[in-house]
Structure 1
Amino acid sequence: MERLYELDLSGTTLKELPSSISNLIGLVYLSLNDCENLVCLPDSFYKLKSLERLTLQGCSRLEIFPEVMDTMEWLRDLDLSGTALKELPFSIANLIGLKYLGLNNCENLICL
């Protein structure tokens, strides 16, 4: 599925994404908005090298965002609004192309 460009899983009952998501090497846009049961993203998530936009808005059980490797240099928009994140990893600084970071209504966020 290297030609899959956009994947919208919004509103599904997923608890976690399979590590095989990293095989979608051409994925540019991934939407997981309002996946209220989602608790984690796979460690292999950073392998989505083509990803430009990731939306996790309303994933109210998502407490941990995975470490970010320098391979995600194309990520421009990251929306974590309404998640249960307590902190962001220091490696978020590796997102050198990031233009938008949404953190609205992250009521548990205590450290940036």
Structure 2
Amino acid sequence: MAVAELRPVQAWQLPPAFGVPVDYSDVDLAGQTRQSVGRTIEEVLGPHRAVPVGPRVVEGHPAAVVIEESRDADLLVVDSHGRGAFAGMLLGSVSGHCVHHASCPVLVVRSDRP
């Protein structure tokens, strides 16, 4: 039996400037995102991993990035933040988009963290 690769994906993008020029040359958003993914992998899986892990950090809108990544996936697992008015009952916008547009089965996991 083949072992699947776990491929954590996190998207990043420049914050909106609302018409005001902003200099982001001293900010490494991709690097900060890579560190965040690395910390999460270490926290969840620890140092001894039973499966290969291939983290991806991609510039772009989270929903579009995850949908694109789902093209080569066997299963897409997303968290549901549900930050709308009825947070306890609704999917987050990214997870909802994934449920409708992913190229593979989607598992939505509700977490207790904010």
TM-score, L = length of structure 1: 0.29
Structure number with higher relative contact order (C-alpha < 8 Å, ≥ 6 residues apart): 2
Greater helix fraction, Structure 1 or Structure 2: 2
Larger Rg: 2
